[in-house]
Amino acid sequence: MKAYKTGLILISFALLLSNAPHRALAQAAPPEPTLANVEGNWAIYSKDWDGKTASKSVQLKQNGNQLTGHFKGPNQSGGIEGTVNGKHIVFRTKTRNVLTFRGMVDGNAMHGTWGIHGRPGEWSATRLND
């Protein structure tokens, strides 16, 4: 009986070891997403919560996933700080009334939502060739 239990333990241990490489592979971290390149000058077209439209511009500088740059709108201008993660972008203006832009990047175009004082709007942007 003791030999049977020892054999059963050895078989169980062998099965556990044979599955170990599969368990390690299953828990590997997913690959890092490729960062979108957003550096450059962009023209932004926005529509706010009450239907008004406006044109704005941003100059973005990119260092890895960190963004800096300059914002110019119809009523204010100032710096920008933000991040890009894969194709997802978030940036905020360093202005009297902070604007927050969130969206997706698709080559030379971006689109998403923006907000000021909790009021949302939609935006799209096109990279300028200059």
Chain segment 44-85, per-residue pLDDT in tens: 999 988 899 999 999 999 999 999 999 999 999 999 999 999
Question: Does residue 30 lie within any of the structural domains?
Answer: no
Distances in whole angstroms, Cα of residue 17 to Cα of each of 6, 11, 54, 114, 117: 17, 10, 63, 52, 57
pLDDT at site 97: 94
- Domain residues for 49? 40-127
Domains held by the chain: number: 1
**Predicted structure pTM score:** 0.74
Instruction: Report if residue 19 sits inside a domain.
Output: no
- CATH code at 77? 2.40.128.120
Read off φ and ψ for residue 11, nearest 5 degrees.
-65, -45
**Burial status of residue 11 (CB atoms within 10 A of its CB: 0-12, 13-18, 19 or more):** exposed
